Structure 1
Amino acid sequence: MTNQEIQEKLKSLSNQSAYPSVSILLPLENERTPTFVAPEHKLKVLVQETYQRLSNIEDEQALQTIRQKLDNIAENIKFDNGDKSMGIFVSPDHEEVIKLPFSVESNVFIGDNFQIRDLVQVRNQLNEYLVLMISEKKVLALRGSGPSLSVIQVPEMPASMAEQEVPGAALDTNEIEDAIDTSVEPDAPSPKGQADEDANSNQSSIQGVSYDEKQRPYLTKIDQALGKYLTQESLRVVLVGVDKKISHFLKFSKNENKVIGTVNGNYDYAPPQTISELVWPVVQNKMQEEKENLLSELQESVGRNLYVSGIDAVWKAAFEGRVRTLLIEENYQVRGLILDEGYSLSLDVPDTYNGPGRIAEDAVDDLIELVMSKAGNVVFVENGKLGDHQQLAAITRY
């Protein structure tokens, strides 16, 4: 499942509201270590914990519906080796099982809404992107989710300069090593890449023009295939190759605005793990840069009166649909009381309170759902980054 598909699932879950809403987060171990616990047993334990916590519910019909749904899921669920974790969401009116490409902490949540905070937070850390390796010998596309890479087929993408009229062969994850031919001793990879001797040369020279014209059909065909793929998949791109090849590609490319960074060097024969170790820091730096830009935008929004801080004030803005981007410190949680048919939030909630309204044990999670239900974005930042904004702030639409 891609991050885009997870995003759509999360938006759907955020629109659900019924009591009891059960959220079970199940981490999966793929390696049989000495402490290995079978996922079937883990799920059984979490389901039993759920039943114990639901035992005081007075609505017998709702309880019976939940039990039937969970029993059916536990009996029929299939575990795949590629899944890192799983989210199970069940209420009287809804049920959903989401297989996740990232790890989560084992937990059970019961409330009026599904608990999606952890999924949103981890998803934000695993931006998807495309790695495109270009050389005369081969073109290879890999899709990344966090530090993990898998070889993909991009339709109409030439496999090499010699075969530019032939689409690249389909490859699956198990054939990565075959795709990156290791049968020939590699040239020593150079992180800095091959010096681009022609970058600053006089392009009117015979050699320069000849090289450009020779490369143009090959690089243009790569760029056209890339452009078509990116119209279907909203991904940013990291380019891998020697300086000369990358600079010539960017010279002809119509997709330069999608490129977030490059890794320079000859890595035709490098294993996927090496490529990942080179590319993932580039993506992380870009993600950090975007967060810093967002924090700067937050400061600018204060002067433009497009800003709200503090969870109680942000809650009202979110209810009115004014929140464009919600920024939250990673570990910020707070108990709250939702009042006035959902319009306001009070943080002064006695432990023995039994009056009007609804108690939210983690009001931040409820706020995330509220913002997402009204097409807002949610971004987590490091603890301490929002110290001047009561640990939570929003850039508003108006």
Structure 2
Amino acid sequence: MHPALSPAVLAELRRPRPYPAVSILMPTHRREPDDAQDPVRLRNLLAEAKERVQADPDVSRADRIDVLGQLDRALAEVDLVHAEDGLAILAAPGEHQVWSLGRTAPARVVVSDTFLTRNLVAAHAAERPHWVVAIAADRVAVWGGTEERVAERTGNGFPLVRVNENPDPERQERIGDSPSTFRDEETKTFLRRAETELGKLLADDPRPLYVVGEAAALALLDAAGPIAREATAQIPHGGLAQADAETVRKVVAPAVRAHAEREAADALALLDRARGGKAYAAGLDEVWQAAGQGRVERLLVEENYRATVRDDGEHLVPDEAGRPGVREDIVDEVIERALDTGAKVAFVPDDTLADSGRIAAALRY
């Protein structure tokens, strides 16, 4: 399964595809006994998707055979043993992708000329992705992750590895030591190169950055340029440039949680100011309309807020799941609408917005 979403990946997923582009979405479960239903639901949804492709007169024989094969290959890649809260299978002529989501999604099959991405977009925002860079004198490793998991970034210049090919034997023979690891010019040059590569990475995929290393390494990277100085947090902790994923996650977890709490507090303060200035929307119907008009500057959503509604032409009306015409992922739809128009989204603990209908927004006008 694909390990991580990014703005570039989401943009690629949202481009038009040759028909038929099949999207299969479903909730999954992390624990027993609820996880027992996941394989059954997956088989049923896959069967529905195949039936719709086979019965569609607009699908050529070649594309039908291709997409059915893509669906089978996607199924083989699904790992329900390590499931999170949702699953997305995307298949079109010549391609398939499988995504595990840290946010639930309603069960559905969609056949169109684009993939259904709103649940992936909302999951990406809710996971609060970040970067971790671990600094050592001879290696700089970058990890991409969320609160629950991290994975080392390979490619695009990382990891950076330095081989010390020019030790100073005369110095060692004369005075019995070698130059300080973080004072020699080769190390300074190496970390300046790391600063340059980090700048490229952040330009392509901006995220909060946590810089980890010995105090001397952090100081030297500070001197190399502004990126380390402007990082979300610096964490003096050596030995992580060669560490495993779980060790890295545990070291940065307190800083990641602290940043999430600061972001939530800042968003709530902005919301209070917007309420006083009457540039404020509260409740799903108001926020949905404001998002559709491109007026949302900052959207706040309780972490586990979900709603099922139908659109009566003027307003969203609460309804029951499974009925014709209902929208079971309307909250994710609002999040995607807001992000598409440049809004920032903050997720806050449940009951934080109890007096605002669980979802609220500071408006541009």
Residue from 8, 11, 19 that aligns with 1:8: 11
Note the C-alpha offset of 1:390.
1.6
Matches of 1:101 and 1:304, distance apart in 2: 40
Q: Is the 8 A contact 1:50 1:108 kept in 2?
A: no
Aligned: 1:382 with 2:343 = no
Report the 3-state secondary structure (helix = DSSP H, G, I; strand = E; otherwise coil) of the residue aligned with 1:77: helix
Matches of 1:314 and 1:36, distance apart in 2: 34
Report the 3-state secondary structure (helix = DSSP H, G, I; strand = E; otherwise coil) of the residue aligned with 2:315: strand
Matches of 1:221 and 1:64, distance apart in 2: 53
Q: Is the 8 A contact 1:336 1:346 kept in 2?
A: yes
Q: Is the 8 A contact 1:28 1:86 kept in 2?
A: no
Which deviates more from structure 2 when the two are superposed, residues 260-269 or residues 238-247? 260-269
How does the TM-score come out when normalised to structure 1? 0.63
Q: Is the 8 A contact 2:136 2:213 kept in 1?
A: yes
Q: How many residues align?
A: 327
Aligned to 2:25: 24
Matches of 1:271 and 1:104, distance apart in 2: 25
Q: 1:45 to 1:63 in 2, by over 3 A?
A: farther
Note the C-alpha offset of 1:309.
0.9
Note the C-alpha offset of 1:246.
1.0
Aligned to 2:233: 261
Listed as ranges, the gaps of 5+ residues in structure 2 are 17-21, 167-178
Aligned to 1:284: 257
Aligned to 1:172: none
Residue from 149, 164, 172 that aligns with 1:162: 164
Aligned to 1:179: none
Q: 1:116 to 1:72 in 2, by over 3 A?
A: same
Q: Is the 8 A contact 1:129 1:235 kept in 2?
A: yes
Aligned: 1:347 with 2:317 = yes
How does the TM-score come out when normalised to structure 2? 0.68
Residue from 300, 310, 313 that aligns with 1:327: 300
Matches of 1:364 and 1:156, distance apart in 2: 37
Report the 3-state secondary structure (helix = DSSP H, G, I; strand = E; otherwise coil) of the residue aligned with 1:3: coil
Matches of 1:261 and 1:144, distance apart in 2: 15
Matches of 1:40 and 1:349, distance apart in 2: 28
Q: Which amino acid aligns with 2:353?
A: L
Q: Is the 8 A contact 1:326 1:371 kept in 2?
A: yes
Which deviates more from structure 2 when the two are superposed, residues 116-125 or residues 144-153? 116-125
Q: Residues 213-246 of structure 1: CA distance to partner in whole angstroms, max 9, x if unpaired?
A: 7864443333233323433342432222111221
Report the 3-state secondary structure (helix = DSSP H, G, I; strand = E; otherwise coil) of the residue aligned with 2:352: coil
| Structure 2 counterparts to residues 231-242 of structure 1, below 5 A | 231-242=203-214
Aligned to 2:107: 108
| Structure 2 counterparts to residues 207-218 of structure 1, below 5 A | 211=183, 216-218=188-190
Matches of 2:14 and 2:221, distance apart in 1: 38
Higher-Rg member (1/2) = 1
Note the C-alpha offset of 1:328.
1.8
Note the C-alpha offset of 1:270.
4.2
Q: 1:161 to 1:221 in 2, by over 3 A?
A: farther
Q: Residues 285-324 of structure 1: CA distance to partner in whole angstroms, max 9, x if unpaired?
A: 2233222211221112222332111222222222222123
Aligned to 1:74: 71
Aligned: 1:306 with 2:279 = yes
Matches of 1:110 and 1:272, distance apart in 2: 34
Q: Is the 8 A contact 2:131 2:208 kept in 1?
A: yes
Aligned: 1:127 with 2:128 = yes
Report the 3-state secondary structure (helix = DSSP H, G, I; strand = E; otherwise coil) of the residue aligned with 1:281: helix
